[in-house]
Amino acid sequence: MTTEHVDIRSIRSRRTWWQGTVRLLKSAPPTAIFGMAVIAFYFFCALFAPWIAPYSESEIVGKAYELPSAAHWFGLDQIGRDTLSRVIFGARNTIGIALLTVLISFSIGGSLGIYSAVTRGWLDTILSRFVDILMSIPVLIFALMLLAMAGKSIANLIFILAVLDSTRVFRLARNTALSVAVQDFVEAAKLRGEKLPWIVFREIVPNILPPLIAEFGLRFCFVFLTIAALSFLGVGIQPPTADWGSMVAESKTLITFGRPQPLIPAAAIALLTVAVNFVVDWFLHKTSGLRDEK
């Protein structure tokens, strides 16, 4: 096969992928389109925060609790930092830490869950009982205790939440992989002499990917809200790093004076959570094989 034929095939493949993506987006309901637009906007702000924000996240630019103006759209906080700039940088810090935490939790829980489902035996029993113990303890209370013992650093926050959240991922990955591992095509692959990596990545993972992707979105929301709650309580992301949870805590007294400043980071948290749930709900409906009633 010549290089020209390979180029033509690659061009056709990209064109087909693009057309399929366009058709998929056109079939999305308004709620999913709204969710995707909000998520894209948030990630744009997170990636380009230093160029979008008028000031740095810790720069003092005026008097404490200065009212909104043309120079400071959302006013200033308790030490004179620009609230709009801190909200923009908060997108980078809160979303970035939550996303990294979920990626680590899926790496731990997903790999152990799939491996346990395929191999079974004593390792599966030990991991399942250990996961049951961890899941019986409320995550927020357990995280508060561990952070108080280990110290209030971003590395400790990510590691603790990733380990605690990996228990939920382990349970889902094990159950879904277990239902696939007993199917005839997996048994046939074993009889052909296929190795464990081939069975996992060619037979099991493609069949459990949709629920795992949906769970990724839900886990992101859960971790995102947990980080915001821990920061609100003072044990999450520490100042002067901008974080939406800590911003609500720092300005909550302004509510009694009729100032909407603490509602701005709270609204940012709520909007992202709703947007992700809209997209996950549409994705689950799309991958379930159900059709919309007309």
3-state secondary structure of 236: coil
For the stretch 61-118, pLDDT in tens is 888 888 888 888 888 888 888 888 899 998 888 899 999 999 999 999 999 998 888 8
For the stretch 176-198, pLDDT in tens is 988 888 888 888 877 787 787 88
Phi and psi dihedrals of 256, rounded to 5?
Answer: -65, -20
For the stretch 235-289, pLDDT in tens is 888 888 888 888 888 888 888 777 888 888 999 999 999 999 999 888 887 776 5
Q: Quote the pLDDT of residue 274.
A: 93
Position with higher pLDDT, 120 vs 163: 163
Position with higher pLDDT, 5 vs 207: 207
3-state secondary structure of 29: coil
Domains present along the chain, CATH in parentheses: 29-287 (1.10.3720.10)
Q: Quote the pLDDT of residue 17.
A: 52
Nearest Cα neighbor of 262 from 102, 94, 87 is: 87
Nearest Cα neighbor of 49 from 99, 103, 80, 94 is: 94
